[in-house]
């Protein structure tokens, strides 16, 4: 499994491929990040206001929207996802 992060205006789209049946695990991991932001090494999770997901087979797209007073750092978000996501993920 691997992922790619791209910024679209203030939102960030994270595209996961080759999930091997781990769609729900990835969604839950990002949810944990949002709920326990104190555990995130970069603190980027504290900026997430909302999350929308769209799955198509072995591909998952996650749109993250920042709080109105925040802006995402792609590098910091990458660090956060590396920490929170299942260890099988290869960037």
Confidence band of 61 (pLDDT split at 50, 70, 90): very high
pTM, to two decimals: 0.84
DSSP string, 38-80: GG-SSSGGGGEEEEEEEEETTEEEEEEEE-TT----HHHHHHH
In which band, very low, low, confident or very high, does the pLDDT at 11 lie, cut at 50, 70 and 90?
A: very high
Instruction: Give the residue-averaged pLDDT of 22-40.
Output: 75
Task: State the helix-helix crossing angle for 23-35 and 74-84, rounded to 10 degrees.
Answer: 110
Determine the 3-state secondary structure of 20 from DSSP: coil
- Rounded mean pLDDT, 45-66: 90
38: Cβ contacts below 8 Å, ≥ 6 apart? none
Q: Which CATH class is domain 2-84?
A: alpha beta
pLDDT higher than 60, residue 15: yes
Q: Where are the domains of the chain?
A: 2-84
Q: Write down the pLDDT at residue 13.
A: 96
> Strand 59-66's sheet: what is its strand order?
2-8, 11-17, 59-66, 48-56
């Amino acid at each position: 499994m691997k992922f790619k992060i791209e910024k679209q205006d203030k939102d960030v789209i994270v595209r996961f491929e080759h999930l091997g049946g781990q769609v729900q695990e990835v969604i839950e991991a990002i949810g944990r990040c949002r709920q326990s932001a104190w555990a995130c090494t970069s603190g980027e999770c504290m900026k997430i206001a909302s999350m929308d997901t769209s799955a198509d087979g072995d591909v998952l797209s996650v749109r993250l929207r920042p709080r109105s007073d925040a802006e995402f750092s792609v590098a910091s978000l990458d660090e956060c996802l590396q920490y929170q996501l299942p260890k099988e993920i290869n960037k």
